Amino acid sequence: MSRHWKRGIFLVAVLLPAVVLAAEPAKIGTVKGVISVAGRPTGDAVVSVEGISQEHLRSQISNLKSKKTQKALIDQRDMKFVPRVLPVLAGTAVEFPNNDKTFHNVYSSSEAKKFDLGLYAPGKSRSARFEKAGVVKILCNVHPSMEAYVVVKNHPYYGATDSRGNYSVTGAPLGKYRLEVWHPDFGTKVLPFELVRDGEVLALDVEMKTQR
């Protein structure tokens, strides 16, 4: 056997384990279900997986930030904010276009984000960036009935319910965590759960209580 051939075999033997380890996909699962109140599915809820290790979160957030800057939108239409509840990753810029026929002013005095976009005309749009995790209540000082909520998360494992109360949070690593459900009218509920198998889809319905 030639010296060059032996050297080639040695390099393959050394590098192959590293290649296999690098190519091994992460073991992940999905949590999904329906959020309801008094037996009726509800929209406007934010569902998130809490308790994932900081080491894992740092790698995931680093990957997200290396991509295109995160952007989101809350429309102003028919004298309402649409959607009423918007979950975003910390660092996301949210656009607030005015698609009504009247002036609007978008502002918040919430602890997680204080800002005031000022008064602006129909057809115009302004934005705010949300850097700190927390719930930010959005208001219009021209129209007191208008309100929305930006729910800022410091990790990507969250989702919002649709009009039928359905939610799905995908890509969570296997392990024991907490499912946190937040709703602007019904508060917060937390349930423990565990993902044990790669590719597992865990069905977890949550019943919220009406606030007295």
Answer for the pair 138, 147: CB distance below 8 angstroms, yes or no: yes
Q: Which residues pair with 69 in a beta bridge?
A: none
Answer for the pair 208, 189: CB distance below 8 angstroms, yes or no: yes
Q: Distance between CA 109 and CA 65 in Å, rounded?
A: 27
Q: Distance between CA 177 and CA 195 in Å, rounded?
A: 8
Write out the chain's pLDDT in tens, 212 residues: 555 444 544 443 444 444 444 446 679 999 999 999 999 999 999 999 999 988 878 777 666 654 445 789 999 999 999 999 999 999 999 999 999 999 999 999 999 999 999 999 999 999 999 999 999 999 999 999 999 999 999 999 999 999 999 999 999 999 999 999 999 999 999 999 999 999 999 999 999 987 65
Q: Distance between CA 151 and CA 133 in Å, rounded?
A: 8
- Measured torsion, CA atoms of residues 23, 89, 84, 73, in degrees rounded to the nearest 10: -90
Domains of the chain: 68-156 (2.60.40.420)
